Structure 1
Amino acid sequence: MAPGGRTVAALDAWLVFEDEAGFSMTPPTTRTWPRRGHTPVVRVRGRSRRRLSVAAPVCYKPGEPLRLIYRSCPDARPDGRKSFSWKEYRDLIQSAHQQLGGPIVLIRDNLNTHLTAACAVTSPTPTT
C-alpha cells in the first residue's frame, strides 16, 4: 500500500468487497402465547431442508456505477458439498475481474476457504 493508503487510486483500480451467505429454505419455528386451549395452527408449504449459498463481490470505483456480481450454489450437488469450494471463489473473482475490465483490490474475510494457498490472489508482475 502506498503512503496514505492510495493503492486503489494509484492503480486506478476497482475496490472489491467479497462475502458469502447461506440461506435456509426451512421456515423458522416460533412460540406464541395464545389463550389456554386455543393452540394456533400455522400451515407451511414447501417445507424442505434445502440450503442456498450465495457469494458476491460488491465493486466500487470513483466515477463508475456500483457493481454487484453474484453466484449462487444450491446444496443439491453431485459431490455433496453444501458451500462454495476455493475453485468457485477463484472463478467468481476472475469473472469479476474480466467484467470490470481493470485491476482490482480485493478485500475479503478470513473464511478458511479463502486462506488456502491455492486460492491466494497475487498481483501479476508488471511487464515493461
Structure 2
Amino acid sequence: MNPPIDDWSGKRVWLLGASSGIGAALGRALLARNARVALSARHAGRLQEIAASARQALVLPCDATDDASMRTAWERLLAAWEGVDVALYVAGDYLPMRAWELDVDKAQRMIAVNFGGAVSFAACVVP
C-alpha cells in the first residue's frame, strides 16, 4: 500500500475527471491543501472555474475516450512540471437503464469512459 500523504504542499497531482462531482470537489480540496493540481476533463470552462482562485492549478482539457487528447494533456503536464507525484482517474459515466431498455451506444460510452479511459490514463502515466 502507498503511505498516506499528510502534507499535500507542492505535490504534483494530475486529476482526470475534475469538471464535476467528486472530481471537482477533490480538485478544490487538493488546491486548498496547496497541492499543484492539473485539472483535466472535457469541459474546459468548468475547469477554469475551479482553477480561477488557485495559482498552483494547471488546466489541461482532454477527453478520457480520446487517446490523442489525453496524450497531449500528459505531454503538456510533463512540459510544465516534469512529472507527477500522484495521478488520479476519477472520470466516470453512468446512465441507469433496465435490461429491456438497453441502449447499446450508451452502454458502450460508459465502458469507454469507465474502463477504456482508465486503461489509457494508466498507459500515459505508468511508463
TM-score in terms of structure 1 length:
0.38
Considering Cα pairs closer than 8 Å and 6+ residues apart, tell me whether 1 or 2 has the greater RCO. Answer: 1
Structure with the largest fraction of helix: 2
Structure with the largest fraction of strand: 1
Query: Computing the radius of gyration over CA atoms, which structure comes out larger, 1 or 2?
Result: 1
